[in-house]
Every structure is written in C-alpha cells, then in structure tokens.
Amino acid sequence: MPIAITRTVSRSIVKCELTHLERTFIDLEIARKQHKQYEDALKFIGCEVISLPELPILPDSVFVEDTAIILDEAAIITNPGAVSRRPEIDSVAEVLQNYRQLIRIKSPATIDGGDVLVVGKKIYVGLSSRSNREAVEQMQNSLKEFGYQVVGVEVTGCLHLKSAVTVVSADTLLINPKWVDKNLFAGMNFIEIDESEPFAANGLLIDDKIIYPNDFPKTAKKLKKNGVKLVLVDADELAKAEGAVTCCSLILD
C-alpha cells in the first residue's frame, strides 16, 4: 500500500509566497474542504494517508512536496528557495527517517520538490526562481551510487518544473510546451495540454491513476482519449497559492 504524507492547510495560507500570480483572497474553509477531498482521493486510490498537523505560522506548509524528494533508495530533504519555507523541512524529515535514508541539500544549493521530475533513473530539476544548479550538482554526487542521472532544465513562465510537465505513465508526459522544451525529455511520449488551460500540466500519478483538477476539462478530455484514468478533485482554492495536486503530498511506494 502506498503511503501519502499530507499536511493540514495552515490558517495563515493567505500570507503564502507568490511568484507568478496576483494575490487574491483564499477562503480557508473551502481550501480545507478541497484538501480533505484530495486526501479522500488518495485513499480511494489505495494510499495510507498520514496527515501531519497544521503549522499555523507557516503559510505554505500544506505544500509538503517541496520539502522532500522521494526515491526508492533514499529521501532527499530539500533546501527550499523561499527562506520562509525552510522551517517546514525538519518535521517532514522526522517522519521520513522512519521510511528512508535521508540525504540533505545544503546551502548555497536551493531546491523545491516541485522542481523535480523523476522518470526512471533520470531526474530532471527545473532551474527556476526556487532551484539552482548547485542543487543539481549536490544531487548528482549524492545519488551516483544509486545509478541516477540528474539533469537541470530551464523553465519559463511558471513557478516549478511540475507546473509545466508531469508523468502520466511510464513513458508519457503531460506537458505545456510553452513553459518547458519537449526536446529535453528524449525517448518520452507526450500529451500536450489544451492551449486555453496553461496550468493543466500538473497531475499526480499513483499506480495507474492520476489525481487531476476539475478546472481543466479540455485537457482532461485529451487525457481520457489517451486512456489515462482520472480521479477528479476540486483544487482551485489552493491554486490561488500557486499550489497544484502534486504539491500536496509526498508519495512513498
């Protein structure tokens, strides 16, 4: 049974970090209701959900993906690009040490988990406002013994690499080609998002199903035509905080 680590939406979510979106009102009650629906979707797929307690003074702490990178052999504890998010990592590391060997990224390297796309033994790291080349180098050195290749890729127009591309099957990526170059992912097949839905490239693959937002019906139709099994959730409230469905959990197989 996969384990999904989540965290309760912070009451201070309205003070979240924003890079590419204008600040708008976030309804805490709606955000928590949608997050509960997300956790229910994880359970429906077959995950054991470990819900961590709220961190009231850390606005972005619901986005646990950014604190760690989960591999079969180890868990990498990140050094988030936004300084305000660094206090989130220790409580996540405390949980993960029960399941994985821990590897820590150290300054001057910075990296958010949302910038990391794992495809087999190849790890793509988005070179964004949150993640840098020093992190790529540290990860490559730390993971060499496990046979991983770590590659930095340029991202434009969005917060994280996984805002632009996510895995929907072993050999297929869902991608917004305006935000990341398809040619960087040699040997992969692609499903392109509908152009009218630029934020539609983020889906969470667990086993053979994808947790996916209700907000992108045109891209969802494309995915279904390609045989992708969707579990749809409402996610528009946390999207106001530049969050997406991959952001809200850490998955351990």
Residues shown for the chain: 253
Question: Which H helix or E strand runs over 6?
Answer: strand 3-7
User: Which of helix, strand or coil describes residue 230?
Assistant: strand
Q: Which residues are within 8 A (CB) of 218 and not within 5 positions of it... i.e. 6 or more apart?
A: 194, 196, 197, 200
160 included as an active-site residue? yes
The answer to whether the beta carbons of residues 174 and 13 sit under 8 Å apart is: no
The pair phi, psi for residue 169, each rounded to 5°, is -160, 175
CA quadruple 106, 109, 113, 116: dihedral positive or negative? Answer: negative
- Among 129, 64, 130, 141, which residue's Cα sits nearest to residue 103? 141
20 included as an active-site residue? no
CA dihedral 141, 143, 147, 148 (to 10 degrees): -90
Q: How many alpha carbons lie under 13 Å from residue 37 in its C-beta half-sphere? A: 19
* Identified catalytic residue from 16, 35, 158, 160: 160
Report the distance separating Cα 194 and Cα 175, nearest Å: 10
What one-character-per-residue DSSP string does 129-170 give? Answer: SS--HHHHHHHHHHHGGGT-EEEEEE--SSSSHHHHEEEEET
The answer to whether the beta carbons of residues 199 and 244 sit under 8 Å apart is: yes
Report the distance separating Cα 112 and Cα 134, nearest Å: 13
* Identified catalytic residue from 16, 47, 247, 248: 247
Active site residues: 160, 247
